[in-house]
Structure 1
Amino acid sequence: MRDFVMLMAEIVNDIHDILTDLFGLHMTDKELHFWIIGIVGMATFFVVYFFFKLIEKMKWSVAIYSFIYTLTGMIVLVFAIELQQAITNRGNMEFADAVEGLRGFLVLFIIYALLALAIYTIKIFISKKK
């Protein structure tokens, strides 16, 4: 995990160097954050918007939106926990820990989904009998 964070930091530093060297853009740290996060945020928005429009056309229930939103939050949470461990030196910052945490959410969600599907199927079966 520490290697991943260092790689991401190196990529950001390289982008800063390219913008400075290639285009002569001398930006402060805050200006760089403004533009990079703004551009990444808007690109992410358009991808998510397109994806949700596809889901909307398929007439899926609100459960899929809830799952996607929750999964996104869980991804942020597990990486925040791993970063906190690295900063405070309490625990080991490991990518495998983040993956295992997300796996726990996915396994429990699958169990929930199967139970919900079983209950839904039983309700349909009972209503057809009447």
Structure 2
Amino acid sequence: MKDFVMLLAEIVNEIHDILIEMFGLHMTDKELHFWIIGIIGMATFFVVYFFFKLIEKMKWSITILSFIYTFTGMFVLVFAIELQQAITNRGNMEFADAIAGLWGFLVLFIIYALIAIVFVIIKKFFNKR
């Protein structure tokens, strides 16, 4: 996991150097963060907006939106925990730990979804009678 984070840091540093060389951008760190995170955030917003509008047109319930939001939060949380372990040296920072945590959420969500489906089927069966 530590190697993965270092690789991401190296990629970010390379992009930073390319931006400076190609466009002659000489910005402070805060100015660079302002523009890069702002652009990434807006691009993400438009993709998410399009995706959620598509879900809305398909008449899916709020459950799928809740799942996406929760999964995104869990993704951030598991990697924050792994980074915290690396910084404090309490536990091992491993990519496999993060994946195991996300699998835990997915498996429990699938169990919940199956139980919910059973209840919906039972409810429809009794409503027809």
The normalised TM-score by structure 1 is 0.96
**Secondary structure of 2:98 counterpart:** helix
Displacement of 1:83: 0.5
Displacement of 1:12: 1.1
| Mapping for residues 91-102 of structure 1, pairs under 5 Å | 91-102=91-102
**Secondary structure of 1:59 counterpart:** coil
| Mapping for residues 1-130 of structure 1, pairs under 5 Å | 1-129=1-129
Distance 1:19 1:123 in 2: 58
Q: Match of 1:48, as an amino acid?
A: V
| Structure 2 unmatched runs, 5+ | none
Distance 1:51 1:67 in 2: 14
Displacement of 1:7: 1.2
Displacement of 1:44: 0.5
Displacement of 1:107: 0.2
**Secondary structure of 1:25 counterpart:** coil
Displacement of 1:99: 0.5
Displacement of 1:54: 0.6
Q: Match of 1:73, as an amino acid?
A: G
Q: Match of 1:86, as an amino acid?
A: A
Aligned Cα root-mean-square deviation (Å): 0.7
Distance 2:41 2:57 in 1: 24
Distance 1:75 1:81 in 2: 10
Identity rate of aligned residues, in percent?
81
